[in-house]
Structure 1
Amino acid sequence: MNLEDEFAQYRGELVAHCYRMLGSLHDAEDAVQETYLRAWRGFADFEQRSSVRTWLYRIATRVCLNALQHSSRRLVPSALGAPGNDPDEIETQALEVSWLEPFPDLLDPAAVVGTRQSLRLAMVAALQHLPPRQRAVLILRDVLAWQAAEVAGLLETTTAAVNSSLQRARAELARLSPAEDEFSEPDEPVRRALLDQYAKAFEQADLVALEGLLTQDTRWEMPPIPTWFSGRVDVLRLLAAKLPPGEGRRILVETAANGQPAFAMYARGRDGGFHGYSVQVLTLTKAGVASVMAFHQPSLFPAFGLPIDRFPQA
């Protein structure tokens, strides 16, 4: 295997690593590009004291830490304040906020399967609350299973400092992230039926059906819109106000993000075509749909291998 092919085989998992660090697919791809540039320039000095894979992870982590010196953490609406309850008082898009982005599973399905929980939206959102070096320590130790001494060498600190940082990071993550049992999805075919029923109900704006699918404490978030809604009653009030009833108004195309089920929503325009509107990432539990993170960013569609516009065939 030549050097170019060896570098290329790690691209997907490096993008996933940088995404955990940065919370943005676009920033992660830029970080991996910078990683490869540094690797090419520095390969002559690479003394093969570690594997190429480990060496690339070292470079990528340093690139991410450098990037985090000049940018704020990625946020979800629920990190900004209390939920709203009036669909008529939704704030305008806050484009100045650095929002968390979804991670399309098609970028590296193997990495998603192998470390599914560490890529879930709620987990990545919680990681963003950690200081950058704590974030790096936790990811390197708990996701990549590096030894404390390896992490200390990368961060130019002591093993004791790494262990202390890891302890603090774990404690903060336990406070912020969902409990382990909240990650438990229904088994097939219940999961399949739930997704099919959700897609049909949403396309038809069938609020009665949606009420039966949403959990009592479900939440609905819509970055880059800061306003979010919590609880079945308020979420249904939002959907009743914003979803015009009737068939043929919207299409949901199934996809996957962050190891979770997702739908790309297209809305019919005046030209008769369907245009990209949002990417919905669902959190499922055995009780139903526990949350929907609806990214109102049509620019995300190409990353999922989807066109932004769909027109009926003539």
Structure 2
Amino acid sequence: MGLHTPPAGQPPRRRAYAADGKTLRGSGLAGSQIHFLAAVDHHTGVVVAQTTVDSKTNEITRFVPLLAGLDLTGAVITADALHTQREHARWLAEQRNAGYVFVVKRNQPTLYHQVKHLPWSKVPIGDEVHTRGHGRYDIRRLQVLTVTPAIGLDFPHAVQAIRVPRRRMNLTTGHWSTVTVYTVTNLTADQATPAELADWLRGHWTVEVLHAKSSTPSAVTVPGCGSGAARSRLSRVSRPTGIPSFRASRVPGRPAGRSDRDRGQRRPQRRAVPGVRAGQARDLFDERDPGTPGLATDKSPRE
């Protein structure tokens, strides 16, 4: 199973790539660590392109070189707020005929203010996904609003704005928390359904989590060494492209099947949105937010 699996019998309409940067932990002192930027296929988890980011530059300047060698026609690129840059949007839309789904935060203050203060209270829920695993229960709802010329977002080619309130319960403490994420895309409503937008966003976050794990130096037993002091001689292995290996690996002697990261993680359940939803799901939202019926007080993620 790939990182991101569409409904049975329905292959994804578009290839989706996540642009994600990571610092290789343990690779040096602060300021001299190895940093890289990679493009990861949402569906397979394979790193399709990668470039290093040296201390004299940053991820933003490496975005175009990272993707320049890929065929992006008809594909969609997801990226976090660092890459929500006007130059990136123009390059993808005008030169590569590609779509983008970019997270919006306060590094783009005008755009963030515009998107956050759209009339979300009048926008219906377009998609809802429930997941349970790793000691938490998540409910993600997605609202999408087509941007008319009268509104005019301050971002090149942006035609839709997306709001994703995530309600999370810690299954140990029973405590609920709410985080709301805003994004923009140059894909129209005909080109990207709410379910597809939700899948691309969740796929990007999944890639970020696995990418973070693969960027951690691994302790490996030196071949030929026995137990005791000799076994303590460990080498740090740099695996910036190790996502496929991470996904394919399993503990020796453990039966084949779901990977360790999938254990305890139930497959996301998408709830039908039109009409009246299940009472149990609606009852989980006991606090109200004027932005969206049934949601707790809106709190933006830390910048």
Tell me the TM-score range normalised by the shorter chain.
under 0.3
Kindly indicate which of the two structures has a greater share of residues assigned to strand.
Answer: 2
Structure with the higher fraction of residues in helix conformation:
1
TM-score (norm 2): 0.28
